[in-house]
Amino acid sequence: MSKENSFKIINKDLEYLFEKLSVYTNEDLNKKVNKDKWSIAENLYHVWLSEFITIKYIKKKTSYPEALVNVNFVSKFRMKLLELIFFTGIKMKAPKITYDSIPQNIEIKKLKETWVKSRKSFEELVNALDESILKKGILKHPIAGRIDIHMTLKFIKMHFHHHRKIITKLETEIKIN
């Protein structure tokens, strides 16, 4: 799939999710259904933060293109393994950097605006980079290893869908309470 189509899909997914959640108040979305699990807002913030950290990492790495390495077979294999993990719903501990700064109360409208802006800057960054750079290992994923832009966009989509399933389950809890 082309990077343009990947961006169209993930942008549409984001728009649809926020549209779907617009019927809830900030209080509803920040409500913890279970004290040991994230609220809907915390799930959203984590997914945005993961993506934001990814963008910053890619900006930094691509500013030194000569240091980029090729994506190897092991990374491709581990990416397939990651797909399987997301597909099966196996829980994994997220890297601390992707959740240690989640605020107590998240303003959903502000998060959406911030996310849309960072996604737009990500797309602009990717479009400005030479295709030869984008084929290199521009991101070091904790499980997959060095992955290229297509694998990165696939990860972003899988991660989003994983948390969207969690959010959908949490929505039913909000409706019940």
Per-residue pLDDT of the chain (177 residues; tens, 9 = 90+): 788 899 999 999 999 999 999 999 999 999 998 888 999 999 999 999 999 999 999 999 999 999 999 999 999 999 999 999 998 888 888 878 888 889 989 999 999 999 999 999 999 999 999 999 999 999 999 999 999 999 999 999 999 999 999 999 999 887 765
Q: Is the dihedral of CA 72, 77, 78, 83 positive or negative?
A: positive
Q: What is the pLDDT of residue 33?
A: 87
* 69 phi, psi to nearest 5 deg: -110, 160
59-82: string of b/e by CB count within 10 Å (b at 16+)? eebbeeeeebeebeeebeebbeeb
Q: What is the pLDDT of residue 25?
A: 93
Read off the amino acid at residue 94. Answer: A
What global pTM score does this model have?
A: 0.93
Q: What is the pLDDT of residue 3?
A: 87
Q: What is the pLDDT of residue 100?
A: 82
Q: Is the dihedral of CA 137, 139, 144, 149 positive or negative?
A: negative
**Local structure of residue 22 (DSSP, 8 states):** T
Q: SS3 of 70, please?
A: strand
* 15's tokens: 């728009």
> End-to-end CA distance of the chain, in Å?
41
Q: Where are the alpha helices (DSSP H) in the chain?
A: 3-21, 26-30, 40-62, 73-88, 108-128, 131-134, 149-176
* 86's tokens: 């997301």
Q: What is the pLDDT of residue 59?
A: 95
Inter-residue contact 130 to 62 (CB < 8 Å): no
The strand pairing partners of 147, in sequence order, are: 139
Q: What is the pLDDT of residue 176?
A: 61
Inter-residue contact 154 to 6 (CB < 8 Å): yes
Identify which of 173, 164, 128 has the alpha carbon closest to the alpha carbon of residue 18: 164
The strand pairing partners of 140, in sequence order, are: 146
Read off the amino acid at residue 156. Answer: I
